[in-house]
């Protein structure tokens, strides 16, 4: 990303490999991985496949055994959270506050 992209507000985008949904990566990417616990939302990314490098939204990815991890529908491999995807998720989720 060049200086003109930053000045004009154009950042990197990530796209779901199945439905084409697009997410804009925040300008400030979290350097440390975060643990994000939230209700599944089909409009947010689920992760990236370590084999084919495809990114899937939570609506297009498949759930693995037990329903704890998202799997690549093409490679049947567990999806990983990259720093970029983690930044998108943390931008769209609210912190948990116990009542």
pLDDT of residue 88: 86
DSSP 67: G
Regarding predicted confidence, which is higher, 64 or 93?
64
* Contact of 62 with 73, CB cutoff 8 Å: yes
Q: Is 29's pLDDT higher than 80?
A: no
Q: Is 4's pLDDT higher than 60?
A: no
Closest CA to 36 of 70, 59, 13: 70
DSSP H/E element including 52? none
Q: Over the range 49-66, which residues count as b (16 or more CB within 10 Å of their CB) and which as e?
A: beeeebbbbbebbeeeee
CB atoms within 10 A of CB 42: 12
CB atoms within 10 A of CB 93: 15
Q: Is 36's pLDDT higher than 80?
A: no
Q: Is 68's pLDDT higher than 70?
A: yes
């Amino acid at each position: 990303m060049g200086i003109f992209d930053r000045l004009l507000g154009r950042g990197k985008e990530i796209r779901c490999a199945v439905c084409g949904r697009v997410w804009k990566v925040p300008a400030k990417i979290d350097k440390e991985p975060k643990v994000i616990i939230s209700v599944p939302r089909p409009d947010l990314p689920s992760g990236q496949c370590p084999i084919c490098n495809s990114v899937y939204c939570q609506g297009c990815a498949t759930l693995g055994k037990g329903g704890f991890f998202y799997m690549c529908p093409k490679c049947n491999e567990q999806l990983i959270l990259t720093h970029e995807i983690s930044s998108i998720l943390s931008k769209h989720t609210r912190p948990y506050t116990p009542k």
